[in-house]
C-alpha cells in the first residue's frame, strides 16, 4: 500500500544544544574525532547519552569511522559530530590549512546537552539488541553504553518483528513497539583490488550475466570471455583468479544483495546462470559450505566454499585490499572510505551505472513507500520495489538504511529528553530544504551524506519519515500514539 500523508508536524522551530562529550585527551588528532561517538566513558552531569547500534553501512555517516582519505574530516564530518559538541571542543575543529592542504572549518554544534553514540555491529545484531535492549560485549566490540535507544538496519522489519513488543524492566527503560523510518540511501558495490588488472578508461563494467556468474562462483578468472566482452574485448588480466569476499556476519548488505540477485539472476537475460534460488533473501550471511540452498530455515546465504569471508563491511574491504584478484560487496560509503574502485553494473535498462549519489537517488525515486499501522499514525515504513529499479539512470543494487526507535521511552525525565532529541535529530537530518546551522562553514546533513558516499532521500520520503517520527516517538511514558 502506498503511504499518503496529508499532514506534517511542524519542524522543530528551535533546536536545543547537544554535547557529544567523552573523556578524550585534549591533544587528540582530528582523525580520532569519531571516538566521541563510540566511547563508553559516562557522559558528564547534565548530559544525556543516546545510544544506538546496527548496520555498518551508516558508520561513516553517523560517526565518521573508517576514513582513509588524506583529508579525513576536511569538508566531510559526520552527522553526530556536526550535530553535537565534542569534548574537548577541538573535536569540532577541522584540520588546519597546513595539514594535507585540507579545508579549514568548524563543525557544529547544533545542540549541546546530550551525546549520540553508535556501534556498527551489523543489521542482524543491531535488531536483536534493539528488541532485547542489550549492548554488545566489549570484546570483540565495538560497544556502547546501555541502554539501547535506537538501531539501524538495511533489512527492514518484517513478519513477527513488526508486532514484537519490548517490555521495560530493570536496566531497560524503553518499551513498546518499534518505529521504523528510512534515513539515507546507499548502494551495495562490487569493489575490487586493482593490482594486476588493466582497467579501461571508462571503468570496469559487469553485465548481469558476469556479476551473477562471479557471485555464483562459475566465473573464476579475470580473463573470462564474458568479462572481456563487457569491456570491449579488453584483456583485464591475462590470468588472475577471482577471489570473492563475502560477509560472515548477520548483514543487511547481504540481504540487499541477495534480494537483487534472486530477482536478476534467474531471468532470460541471464539464461546461462542456474535458475534455482541460489541466494536466500533473508538477513544474514552466516553461511555453510557448498552450493545447495539451506532448507529450512531459509535465513542464510550459502556461498561457494571457495569464497573468502570477513566480518563487517570494513572487514570485507580490508580483505579485498589484502588479496590480489579480490572482489567483494561493500556499501558505497565504506568503498569510498577505504579508497576501493567499484564496478559499473548493467541495470534493467541495459545501461552501465556506478554507485554514485545520482545513481542511488534515481533508484530510490522509483521506490514505493509502504506503510504499516493505522493511518495517520503509521509507525513503520519501508521502501519497496528496489530489487531491480526500472529507470535508465538507476544504480541497480540500491537501498535505504532504516532507523529504529521505540514508541515509548520510559522515565518521565530521561525518556522525555531522549524522545525530544531523537525528533530534533531527524528533523535536522531530514529537513527539506537541507538545514544549515551556525557557524556558516557547517555542511548540511545532505552534504555530509553525499561527501561520504551516500544519497540523500528524495524529498517525499523525507517528509514521510519526519512525520512518522514526530507523531510516533512519544515524549511521555505511554500509551503510544502509534500502536498498532
- Sorted by where each begins, the domain ranges of the chain are 30-184+403-472, 188-363
Task: List the pLDDT tens digit at each of the 484 positions of the chain.
Answer: 333 333 323 222 222 222 222 222 222 333 333 344 556 777 666 777 788 999 989 988 988 754 444 444 444 468 887 776 554 445 555 544 444 455 555 566 677 777 788 888 888 889 989 998 888 887 777 888 888 999 999 989 877 888 888 877 776 777 788 999 999 999 999 999 999 999 999 999 999 999 999 998 989 999 999 999 999 999 999 999 999 999 888 788 888 998 898 888 876 455 444 433 444 444 333 333 333 333 333 446 778 889 999 988 999 999 999 999 999 999 999 999 899 999 999 999 999 999 999 999 999 999 999 988 766 568 899 999 999 999 999 999 999 999 999 988 876 667 788 888 899 999 999 998 877 554 455 678 898 899 899 999 999 999 999 999 998 887 766 677 786 6
Domains 30-184+403-472 and 188-363 share a fold: yes
Q: Are 86 and 44 in contact (CB under 8 A)?
A: no
In this prediction, residue 109 carries a pLDDT of 67
In this prediction, residue 367 carries a pLDDT of 94
Virtual torsion, Cα 355, 358, 363, 367, nearest 10 deg: 140
Q: Is the full-model pTM beyond 0.95?
A: no
- Parallel, antiparallel or unpaired: strands 380-384 and 326-331: unpaired
Q: May I ask the CATH architecture of the domain 30-184+403-472?
A: 3-Layer(aba) Sandwich (3.40)
Q: Dig out the grid coordinates for 299 from the structure.
A: 535465513
In this prediction, residue 175 carries a pLDDT of 78
In this prediction, residue 87 carries a pLDDT of 44
Range 188-363 has CATH code 3.40.190.10: yes
Give the DSSP per-residue string, 437-476: -SSTTPPPHHHHHHHTT-BPPPHHHHHHHHHHHHHHS-SS
In this prediction, residue 2 carries a pLDDT of 35
Could you give the C-alpha distances from 213 to 236, 271, 459, in angstroms and in order?
17, 11, 37
In this prediction, residue 287 carries a pLDDT of 35
Using alpha carbons, select from 253, 251, 256, 246 the residue that is nearest to residue 302: 246
In this prediction, residue 412 carries a pLDDT of 63
Length of the chain: 484
392 vs 177: CA distance, rounded Å:
39
402 vs 58: CA distance, rounded Å:
10
In this prediction, residue 477 carries a pLDDT of 65
3-state helix, strand, coil in the chain (%, to 5): 25, 20, 55
Amino acid at each position: 500500500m502506498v503511504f499518503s500523508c496529508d499532514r506534517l508536524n511542524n519542524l522543530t522551530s528551535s533546536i536545543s544544544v547537544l554535547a557529544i562529550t567523552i573523556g578524550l585527551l585534549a591533544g587528540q588528532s582530528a582523525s580520532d574525532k569519531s571516538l566521541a561517538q563510540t566511547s563508553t566513558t559516562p557522559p558528564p552531569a547534565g548530559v544525556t547519552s543516546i545510544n544506538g547500534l546496527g548496520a555498518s553501512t551508516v558508520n561513516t555517516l553517523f560517526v565518521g569511522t573508517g576514513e582513509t582519505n588524506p583529508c579525513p574530516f576536511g569538508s566531510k564530518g559526520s552527522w553526530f559530530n556536526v550535530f553535537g559538541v565534542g569534548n574537548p571542543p577541538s573535536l569540532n575543529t577541522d584540520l588546519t590549512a597546513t595539514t594535507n592542504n585540507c579545508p579549514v572549518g568548524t563543525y557544529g554544534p547544533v545542540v549541546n546537552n546530550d551525546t549520540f553514540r553508535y556501534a556498527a555491529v551489523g543489521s542482524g545484531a543491531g535488531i536483536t539488541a534493539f528488541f532485547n535492549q542489550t549492548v554488545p560485549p566489549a570484546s570483540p566490540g565495538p560497544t556502547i553504553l546501555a541502554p539501547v535507544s535506537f538501531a539501524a538496519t538495511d533489512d527492514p522489519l518484517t513478519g513477527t518483528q513488526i508486532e514484537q513488543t519490548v517490555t521495560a524492566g530493570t536496566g531497560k527503560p524503553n518499551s513498546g513497539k518499534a518505529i521504523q523510518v528510512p534515513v539515507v540511501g546507499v548502494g551495495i558495490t562490487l569493489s575490487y583490488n586493482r593490482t594486476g588488472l588493466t582497467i579501461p578508461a571508462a571503468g570496469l563494467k559487469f553485465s548481469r550475466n558476469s556479476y551473477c556468474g562471479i557471485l555464483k562462483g562459475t566465473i573464476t578468472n579475470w580473463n573470462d570471455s564474458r568479462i572481456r566482452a563487457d569491456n570491449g574485448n579488453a584483456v583485464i588480466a591475462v590470468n588472475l583468479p577471482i577471489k570473492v569476499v563475502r560477509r560472515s556476519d548477520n548483514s543487511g548488505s547481504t540481504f540487499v544483495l541477495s534480494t537483487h540477485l534472486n530477482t536478476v539472476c534467474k531471468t532470460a537475460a541471464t539464461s546461462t546462470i542456474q535458475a534455482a534460488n541460489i541466494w536466500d533473501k533473508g538477513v544474514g550471511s552466516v553461511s555453510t559450505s557448498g552450493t545447495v540452498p539451506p532448507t529450512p530455515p531459509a535465513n542464510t546465504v550459502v556461498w561457494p566454499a571457495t569464497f573468502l569471508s570477513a566480518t563487517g563491511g570494513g572487514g570485507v574491504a580490508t580483505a579485498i585490499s589484502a588479496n590480489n584478484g579480490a572482489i567483494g560487496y561493500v556499501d558505497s560509503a565504506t568503498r569510498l572510505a577505504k579508497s576501493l574502485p567499484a564496478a559499473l553494473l548493467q541495470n534493467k535498462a541495459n545501461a552501465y551505472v556506478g554507485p554514485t549519489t545520482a545513481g542511488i537517488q534515481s533508484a530510490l525515486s522509483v521506490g514505493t513507500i509502504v506503510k504499516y499501522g493505522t493511518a495517520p499514525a503509521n509507525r513503520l515504513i519501508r521502501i519497496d520495489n528496489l530489487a531491480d529499479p526500472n529507470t535508465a539512470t538507476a544504480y541497480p543494487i540500491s537501498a535505504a538504511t532504516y532507523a529504529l526507535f521505540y514508541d515509548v521511552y520510559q522515565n518521565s525525565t530521561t525518556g522525555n529528553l531522549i524522545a525530544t532529541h531523537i525528533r530534533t535529530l531527524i528533523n535536522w537530518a531530514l529537513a527539506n530544504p537541507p538545514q544549515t546551522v551556525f557557524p556558516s562553514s557547517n555542511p548540511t546533513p545532505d552534504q555530509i551524506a553525499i561527501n561520504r558516499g551516500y544519497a540523500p532521500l528524495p524529498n517525499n520520503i523525507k517528509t514521510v519519515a519526519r512525520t512518522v517520527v514526530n507523531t510516533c516517538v512519544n515524549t511521555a511514558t505511554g500509551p503510544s500514539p502509534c500502536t498498532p
